[in-house]
A = this chain, B = another copy of it.
Amino acid sequence: MKIGIYGYGNLARGVECASQRADDITLAAVFSRRDPASVKTLTGVPVFPAADVLRFKDEFDVLVICGGSATDLPKMTPTLARDFNVVDSFDTHADIPQHFDAVDAAARAGGKTALISGGWDPGMFSLARVYASAILPGSKSYTFWGRGVSQGHSDAVRRIPGVLDARQYTVPVPAALEAVRAGEQPELSTREKHTRECYVVAEPGADLTAIERAIKTMPKYFDEYDTTVTFITEEEMRRDHSALPHGGSVITSGVTGLSDENKQVIEYRLALDSNPEFTGSVLVALARAVGRMNARGDVGCKTVLDVPPAMLSPLSAEELRRKML
């Protein structure tokens, strides 16, 4: 199977690394809106102008679209889904239905298969929520994120005047995790579920008190959380905070028995040294499934919830039953 990557940032490099490990998948090209001469890929895979992508219409089985959810993907995926089987990682939860409809119409018009919102949340965490709630009707699912770097929150801090660089870690509250794991089904406010840790490099002479206040009171991003702000040097930022770890847990807690007498707890947990490389690995497995679904005539827009799990694996159905079931 031949895949292409459209857009070349952190996530795309994760897809590039992951495709190296998949024996049945070859990454054939990267498309970038930047000048191709200025883009150096990790593995030396050739780079072409994004504007030329249609010339490669019959060259790829699947195109993995690595754009941002805010402005890129709502345009890119519906546009490309008419001419390519595509996978994206659209993660604005509230806008998924709308994105789905736009991509579905395009993919059906072109006889292509598209999968949106791949990755781990949405993606693998969605699967965990759906399986667990189907098994345990009336259960409660809790999603905890972290400890890990939130790019969106890091960017928000970087936009504050006087901030040179920033890294924000989302951290689950241990007592909340513990109560949920014990099957207690607590009601948890936003503040009770996660704390936020900010590491900030300030401009020389900046008003640190003002920066800290600006962070802690920022609506939506920080005001509903207990946030700590630590000022560090550029050197410390490079040394201690250059990785992009993340992860978290979906914990579902329900009861069974005629009188609710038995607690049942299901947890799906990720501990990731590299968020973009893991997300890229999920997208490559999904690209395999999308190529297969299209080959059997299953067109239109899909999500992870529509994909038979066996389709993600390079193993045959027989091998899976023999070795993995």
- Which A residues have a C-beta under 8 Å from some C-beta of B? 14, 17-18, 20-23, 42-43, 93, 96-97, 100, 117, 122, 124, 126-131, 133-138, 181, 183, 243, 256-258, 261-274, 277-278, 280-282, 285, 288, 303-310, 312-314, 317-318, 320-322, 324-325
In the complex, the count of this chain's copies comes to 2
Q: Is the CB of A313 within 8 A of B96?
A: no
**A137 in complex: contacting residue of B22, B137, B264, B267, CB < 8 Å:** B22
Q: Is the CB of B313 within 8 A of A325?
A: no
Task: State whether A309 and B131 are in contact (beta carbons under 8 Å apart), knowing that A18-B256, A267-B269 are contacts in the complex.
Answer: yes
Give chain B nearest CB distance to A213 CB in angstroms: 36
Give chain B nearest CB distance to A172 CB in angstroms: 15
- When C-beta atoms are compared, the residue in chain B nearest to A323 turns out to be B129
**A127 in complex: contacting residue of B17, B274, B278, B309, CB < 8 Å:** B309
Q: Is the CB of B127 within 8 A of A131?
A: yes
Q: Is the CB of A256 within 8 A of B303?
A: no
**A257 in complex: contacting residue of B97, B266, B274, CB < 8 Å:** B274
Q: What residues on B are CB-neighbors of A122 within 8 Å?
A: 325
Give chain B nearest CB distance to A35 CB in angstroms: 24
Q: Is the CB of A321 within 8 A of B21?
A: no
Task: State whether A310 and B305 are in contact (beta carbons under 8 Å apart), knowing that A131-B127, A264-B273, A264-B274 are contacts in the complex.
Answer: yes
Q: Is the CB of B264 within 8 A of A267?
A: no
Give chain B nearest CB distance to A101 CB in angstroms: 10
